[in-house]
Amino acid sequence: MDPLILHALLMLVAWLVLAPLGILLARFFKITPRQDWPRQLDNRFWWYGHLICMYGAVGLAGLAVWTAVSTTGGFELSLHAAFGSMAVGLAVLQVLSGWLRGSKGGPTDRRAARNDPSTWRGDHYDMTARRIAFEAWHKVAGYGVLLLALAAAASGLELLGWLQPFLAWLVALPLLFLLVYGVLQRAGFAKDTYRAIWGPDEAHPGNRRGPGRR
């Protein structure tokens, strides 16, 4: 296979398959359809799925960059290279920021005693300024990576002469993502992360911040 075609294929899977799937899992499957919420809390299905998709996307993107650079002998000054570098760079920052999101806390934290609320403290459970800033950054940067990746894909296909199979997927996959996103949103699958983990009890500090969080 032509190394540049392989580069395009790896990037397509990373940013048009894995990354959108990771977003859908995180937004719409914090509570799964058969989960008996709120008696069953903190379902980690979405969390592990999100991590696998996002780490997989960054890994494939890194491999794709190596494939292109080793073939061309270095980075080229082009719109495609600029968009691609920004997308990969922002994605790496996303991964690194995940390690800086702070502690979890709450009654199910491994350091907590279930019957002693004083041991439940944590950045997520208490919704500290650090956690609020992380959530805002993570959401904006995540969608930003997708937009930059789309721009990189379009400019890359232009360099390859708009290869028909890739062009079809470039159009079809984002449209499919938007369709699934819209259907799940209208069906009410978007759930508040905090309530999905700890339930709706107003005794939990994050539930007193008001509606509208995701």
Specify the pLDDT at position 214.
54
DSSP E strand stretches across 114-187:
none
**What are 37-95's pLDDT values in tens digits?**
999 999 999 999 999 999 999 999 999 999 999 998 888 889 999 999 999 999 999 99
- The angle at the Cα of 173, spanning 68 to 149, to the nearest 5 degrees, equals 40
**What are 9-48's pLDDT values in tens digits?**
999 999 999 999 999 999 999 999 999 999 999 999 999 9
**What are 148-198's pLDDT values in tens digits?**
999 999 999 888 888 788 899 999 999 999 999 999 999 999 999 999 999
In the chain, the domains with their CATH numbers are 3-209 (1.20.120)
Which residue do the tokens 């403290």 mark? 121
Separation CA 58–CA 124 (nearest Å) = 25
